[in-house]
Amino acid sequence: EAAVTQSPRNKVTVTGGNVTLSCRQTNSHNYMYWYRQDTGHGLRLIHYSYGAGNLQIGDVPDGYKATRTTQEDFFLLLELASPSQTSLYFCASSEWDRGRDERLFFGHGTKLSVL
Amino acid sequence: GQQVQQSPTSLVLQEGENAELQCNFSTSLNSMQWFYQRPGGSLVSVFYNPSGTKQSGRLTSTTVIKERRSSLHISSSQITDSGTYLCAMEGMGYKLTFGTGTSLLVDP
Letter string b/e over residues A69-102, b meaning 16 or more CB atoms within 10 A of that residue's CB = eebbebbbebeebeeebbbbbbbbbbbbeeeeeb
Report yes or no: B21 at the A interface, CB cutoff 8 Å.
no
Report yes or no: B83 at the A interface, CB cutoff 8 Å.
no
Which residue from A77, A15, A20, A71 is spatially nearest to A46, judged by alpha carbons?
A77
Residues forming a β-bridge with B43: B37
In this prediction, residue A91 carries a pLDDT of 97
Higher pLDDT, B17 or B90: B17
In this prediction, residue B91 carries a pLDDT of 81
**Model confidence at B40, in pLDDT bands (50, 70, 90)?**
confident
In this prediction, residue A50 carries a pLDDT of 93
Cα B88 to the center of its chain, rounded Å: 8
Look up residue A102 and give its amino acid.
E
Dist CA A88 CA A91 (whole Å): 10
Which of A45, A102, A106 faces B48 most closely, judged by CB atoms? Answer: A102
In this prediction, residue A70 carries a pLDDT of 96
In this prediction, residue B30 carries a pLDDT of 83
What would the pLDDT profile of B1-34 be if each residue is shown by its tens digit?
Answer: 668 999 999 999 999 999 999 999 988 888 889 9
In this prediction, residue A98 carries a pLDDT of 60
The answer to whether the Cβ–Cβ distance between B41 and A42 falls below 8 Å is: no
Residues of chain A predicted below pLDDT 50 = none
Q: Answer yes or no: are the C-beta atoms of A25 and A72 closer than 8 Å.
A: yes
In this prediction, residue B92 carries a pLDDT of 77
The CA distance from A41 to the nearest CA of chain B, in Å, is 6
In this prediction, residue B84 carries a pLDDT of 96
**Model confidence at B95, in pLDDT bands (50, 70, 90)?**
confident
What would the pLDDT profile of B43-78 be if each residue is shown by its tens digit?
Answer: 999 998 888 999 999 999 999 989 999 999 999 999
Report yes or no: A64 at the B interface, CB cutoff 8 Å.
no
The answer to whether the Cβ–Cβ distance between A43 and B41 falls below 8 Å is: no
Nearest chain A residue to B34 by CA distance is: A103
